[in-house]
Chains A and B, each alone.
Chain A
Amino acid sequence: MSKKFKAAIIGPGNIGTDLLMKCLRSDIIEPVWMVGIEESAGIKRAQEYGLRVSTDGVDGLVAAFAEAPVDFAFDATSAYVHAENSRKLNELGVMMIDLTPAAIGPYCVPPVNLDSIMADTPKDNVNMVTCGGQATIPLVASVSRVQAVAYAEIVATVASKSVGMGTRDNIDEFTRTTSAAIAQVGGADEGKAIIVINPAEPPLIMRDTVHCLTKEPADAEAITASVKEMVKEVQTYVPGYRLLNDPIIDGTRVTITVEVEGLGDFLPKYAGNLDIMTAAGLKTAEMIARRKLAAG
C-alpha cells in the first residue's frame, strides 16, 4: 500500500467541504483534520467522515499536533487570517496551500509552474492565485511556450451565485492578483484581468476568454496544438474543463475560450470557478507529495 500524506483543511465552508470530498478520493492525500472557529454544518459533516475537528481555529490543531500530525494544510478561510495560520503551521513543518488571496507564497498554477517553484528551494507556502487565474493562466502559458506574448488579457464570466462575499467586498483584489499572475506565471509581458458576473437562472457555467497578443504573427498550427495539449493537462484534475472552439487566430491576436464545469462534489456544477480552485489545490498537494515520495 502506498504511503498517504496527511492533510488539514482550514475553513469548513463550501470551499473547504468541496475540497474534503476531493481529498477523500485521493490516492496520496488523506484528510485528517477539519479546522473551524465554531460548531457548524461543515464541522459536523467532517466528523461524520471520521476527521478530527477543531472549533478553536488553527490553535486547536497545533495543540493536538503531536497526536495527529499533518504534512499539508489547505487554507480556505480569508486573507486576513491566513498569515497567522501559515506561520503557526509552518513552524511545525507543515506545507501550506493557500486558497485565499493573501499570496504570501509564490503563485502556483500546477500544470504551469509547480515543478519550477519546488525545484529551486522547497517552499512552505504556495498561493493558488484566483479562480480566474487557475482557469486561464494555463492557456496563456500554452501560447507563451510557443512564441513570445506581449500582452494577455482574460475575461472570466461567472454565475452570480458562485461569487461569495469575500470576492465581492474586494473585487479589485481579483483583478490585480489575476493580472499579476498572468504576467508572472503565464509568461506574458503584461497581463490584464476582467470579471463579469451574470445573475441568469439557471446559473451559467463559468466561461473564460483569453486574448493573447503575440509579438510576431501567431503560428496558428503550433498554438492550436499547444492549447489542446494544455487543455488535456488541466482536464486531468478538472474533467469539466472544455475548449469551446478552436483558438481564433487573427494576425497577432489569439483568442481562446473555455467553459469550466465543476464536478459537483459539494459545490454546484456551474460553480466551475470554485471547483477549479479546490481541484488545483489538491493537485498541488498531490504533485508535491509525489516529489517527496520520489525523493525518498
Chain B
Amino acid sequence: MNIQGRKITLHDMSLRDGMHPQRHQISVDQMVDIAKALDAAKVPLIEVTHGDGLGGASVNYGFPAHTDQEYITAVVNAVSTSKVSALLLPGIGTVDHLRMAADCGISTIRVATHCTEANVSRQHINLGHKMGLDTVGFLMMAHMISPEEILEQAKLMESYGANCIYCTDSAGYMLPDDVTERIALLRAELAPETELGFHGHHNMAMGVANSLAAIEAGANRIDGSAAGLGAGAGNTPLEAMAAVLDRMGAETGIDIFKLMDAAEDHVLPIMDEPVRLSRDSLVLGYAGAYSSFLLFAKRAQAKYGVPSHQILLEMAHRKTVGGQEDLIEDIAMEMAKKRS
C-alpha cells in the first residue's frame, strides 16, 4: 500500500466516544488534562461531547458529570493549536444545542444519523454550514447497508451542506474490504472537494487495518482515540494509527511520542475498566451491534442474571440501531423469564 505523502487529519474521540466506557463521568479537570496532552502532541481535532452527542444527558443514556457547555468551554480554553468538534444526533440534540456549541467555540460539528436516515439531518447540517463551521455528515452503523445505499444517503448530506462525509463503523463489524468498497464508491461519486472520513471501533481488532483501507480508498480523515478510550473495545487506538502512518510516510503533523505520552500517562489512568477486546465487545463486532450497548448489557446481566453477550447478540438479531438502549433491559427481562 502506498500512501506516502498523503495528508491525513487524525481526530481524537477519547473525550466523546470515551465518555461511554466512563459512564459520561469524566471530570472537567480530566478533560482539560487530556486535551492539553493531545494539544501538545499536535492532534489537530478533539471531539468533546456527551457520548451520545449534544443533549445526550438523559436517564436513557446517562447523565454526565458536567454539561456539554462546561466541557466544551473548558477544553476550548485549554488548547492552543488543536481545534474542538462536537457531535449531534438529530432526535436527541437540536439546533439550539448546535448554536450553544458554536458559541462555546467549536470549529467542527458532526451531525450523525443512522445510515439510512440522512434526511433527518437537513436542518442541522444546513445551520452548521451557514455558520461557517466545518460540517461533517456522519453515517452510523454503515455496515448495515450496501455501498450504493450509503452513497445515496451521503449525497443527501452533501446536498445539505456537509463538506465531509463519514462512513461510521459503530459496531466495529466491518472488515477492510467492506471499508474499501464504501469509501471507494463515495470517492468516485461525491464532489472531489468533499472530504471523506472513517470512524472505527476495535471490536474485531480491525481499527487500524480498516482505517488504512479507508485511506487507500480515498479517505483523509480518520477517527481514533488515545489509548483507544471509546465504546465497545474502544476506537482505533490513535497513537498506534499515528505511528503506522508515520512509518508509511503519510503526513499527520502529530508528534507520535507525545501522543503516546497522552495515551499512557493521561488517558489510561482515568479508565474505570481497561478498554479491551473482551468477549462482549467481540460479540458486538462479530454480530454487528452498536458499541455503546456494552455497559447497558453488563448492567442488565448484573440485575437479571442473563449473560451480557447473549443480550448483545439478541440486540444484533433484532437489527437495532444506535439509541435503542432502552430495549436492553426489556430483552434481559424476557430472557430471564424464559430461563426461570
Using a CB–CB cutoff of 8 Å, the interface residues on chain A facing chain B are: 151, 153, 155, 157, 160, 165, 168-172, 174-176, 192, 194-200, 207, 209, 211, 213, 244-245, 248, 253, 255, 257
> Does B117 lie within 8 Å of A192, measured CB to CB?
no
Chain B residue numbers with a CB within 8 Å of A165 are: 119
Q: Which of B291-340 contact A (CB under 8 A)?
A: 318-324, 326-327, 329-330, 333
Contact status of A196 and B59, CB under 8 A, knowing A245-B330, A248-B329: no
A42 to chain B minimum Cβ distance, whole angstroms, is 23
Q: How far is the CA of A199 from the CA of B321 in the complex (A)?
A: 9
**B59 near A211: Cβ-Cβ < 8 Å:** yes
Chain B residues with a Cβ closer than 8 Å to the other chain, count: 28
Inter-chain contacts of B122 with A (CB < 8 A): 168-169
B319 touches A168 (CB 8 A): no
Taken together as a complex, chains A and B put the C-alpha atoms of A194 and B123 apart, in Å, by 17
Using known A-B contacts A169-B122, A194-B60, A209-B60, determine if residue A199 contacts B327 with beta carbons closer than 8 Å: no
Rounded to whole angstroms, the CA-CA distance of A168 and B90 in the bound complex is: 10
- How many angstroms between the C-alpha atoms of A213 and B322 in the bound complex? 24
Task: Say if the beta carbon of B67 comes within 8 Å of chain A.
Answer: no
Q: B69: CB under 8 A from chain A?
A: no
Question: Which residues does chain B contribute within 8 Å of A157, judged by CB atoms?
Answer: 323-324, 326-327
Alpha-carbon distance A192/B333, docked complex (angstroms): 25
Assess whether A175 is in contact with B91, with CB atoms less than 8 Å apart. yes
Residue B92 CB within 8 A of the other chain = yes
Contact across chains for B320 and A198 when beta carbons are under 8 A apart: yes
B58 interface residue (CB < 8 Å to A): yes
B28 within 8 A of A: no
Binary interface profile of B, 52-90, with partner A (CB < 8 Å = 1, else 0)?
000000111000000000000000000000000000001
Q: Is the CB of B60 within 8 A of A197?
A: no
Query: Are B114 and A245 touching (Cβ within 8 A)?
Result: no
Most chain A CB within 10 A, of B94, B120, B329, is at: B120
Report the minimum CB–CB distance from B336 to chain A (whole Å). 11
**How far is A129 from B323 in the complex, measured between Cα atoms in Å?**
23
Q: Which residues of A contact B95 (CB under 8 A)?
A: 172
Q: Is the CB of A153 within 8 A of B59?
A: yes
CB of B30 within 8 Å of the partner chain:
no
Contact assessment for B91 and A195 in the assembled complex, using a CB-CB cutoff below 8 Å: yes
Q: How far is the CA of A172 from the CA of B125 in the complex (A)?
A: 13
A196 with B123, Cβ < 8 A, contacts A153-B58, A160-B117, A253-B59 known: no
- Report yes or no: B92 in contact with A198, Cβ–Cβ below 8 A: no
Beta-carbon contact of B59 and A171 below 8 Å: no
Q: Which of B123, B321, B322, B327 contacts A170 (CB 8 A)?
A: B123
Given the complex, which residues of A lie within 8 Å of B326, measured CB to CB? 155, 157, 209, 255, 257
Chain B residues contacting A176 (CB-CB under 8 Å) are: 94
In angstroms, Cα B63 to Cα A45, docked, is 50
Cα–Cα, bound, A153→B92 (Å): 11
A160 close to B116 (CB less than 8 A): yes
Question: Quick check: B90 and A172 within 8 Å, CB to CB?
Answer: yes
Q: Which residues of A contact B114 (CB under 8 A)?
A: 197-199
For the complex, what is the distance from the CA of A174 to the CA of B321, rounded to whole Å?
A: 20
A-B contact pairs, 24 of them (CB 8 A): A151-B59, A155-B60, A157-B324, A157-B326, A160-B117, A169-B119, A171-B90, A171-B120, A172-B96, A172-B123, A175-B92, A175-B94, A192-B58, A194-B58, A195-B91, A196-B324, A197-B117, A197-B120, A199-B117, A211-B58, A211-B59, A211-B60, A213-B59, A248-B329
Q: A160-B117, A211-B59 are in contact. Are A196 and B333 (CB under 8 A)?
A: no
The verdict on A197 contacting B91 (CB below 8 Å), with A157-B324, A170-B123, A171-B123 known, is yes
Residue of B nearest to A195 (CB): B91
Given contacts A157-B324, A171-B90, A197-B321, 20 further A-B contacts (CB under 8 A): A153-B58, A153-B60, A168-B122, A169-B119, A171-B123, A172-B94, A172-B123, A175-B94, A194-B58, A194-B91, A194-B323, A195-B91, A196-B91, A197-B117, A198-B324, A199-B114, A209-B60, A245-B330, A248-B329, A255-B59
Cα A157 to Cα B320 with chains together (Å) = 10
**Across the two chains, which residue of chain B brings its CB closest to A250?**
B303
Q: Is the CB of A255 within 8 A of B329?
A: yes
Contact A200 B319 (CB under 8 A): yes
